[in-house]
Chains A and B, each alone.
Chain A
């Protein structure tokens, strides 16, 4: 158990809908990272927050947005969902910025039908 929690574990929704994925980092960790893992694209980095501020941005679509709240939990919002958004979404946390080891959550499996 990494200490990083993600909810929900599974999510099934229809195309065009909007969902919110939640991540609680390990106690004391200030950074949160979001990743997407799909069968055809593999793992992709989406975005990183450090203490509430966006620090690094990867291949995050405009339909996706994220934020980190004052209590350091983070949410990833996915809107206008498409079949291709079906994937595992991982959150990771680290005590500091990008030069620190990351601890991964169990992931949220999103299925868009």
Chain B
């Protein structure tokens, strides 16, 4: 049983497209994280949120606590957005659970 489920597993988009990655979780959470992992392996934390919506540049993250669902949106996608996007939650007992990631490829 996976506490965090992401969809889709793989995503290919044309440059400029609007992209949505979804994350559903089954535990009560204190916070949800969106991480980006580039092909070289490095991880960058994109967002940490516990309610509502956050925006950084072309990236937007939303969370619906009642529905236990979060989405990561990328507007005007670019080839440099190609990476694996990982959803992670921290539950109320301070345990972390990770999704298996969404592999995004943006084609020029």
- Selected interface stretch from B15-23, B40-48, B60-68, B71-79: B40-48
A106 engages B98 (CB within 8 Å): no
Distance in angstroms between the alpha carbons of A100 and B45 in the assembled complex? 11
A38 to chain B: closest CB distance in Å? 12
How many contacts A-B (CB < 8 Å)?
46
- Docked Cα-Cα span, A92 to B95, in Å, equals 15
| Contact (Cβ within 8 A) A43 B88 | yes
Which among B33, B42, B101 is the interface contact of A106 at CB below 8 angstroms?
Answer: B42
Contact A102 B100 (CB under 8 A): no
Q: Is the interface of A mostly helix, strand, loop or mixed?
A: strand
B104 beta carbon closer than 8 Å to chain A: no
Shortest A108–chain B CB gap in Å is 11
Which B residue's beta carbon lies closest to that of A46?
A: B96
Tell me which of A98, A100, A109 contacts B30 (CB under 8 A): A98
13 A-B residue pairs with Cβ-Cβ distance under 8 Å, sorted by A, are: A42-B100, A43-B86, A43-B88, A44-B98, A45-B98, A98-B30, A98-B31, A99-B31, A101-B45, A102-B45, A103-B45, A104-B43, A104-B45
Contacts A102-B48, A104-B35 known; list 9 others, CB within 8 Å.
A44-B98, A45-B96, A90-B43, A92-B43, A92-B45, A104-B42, A104-B43, A104-B45, A109-B41
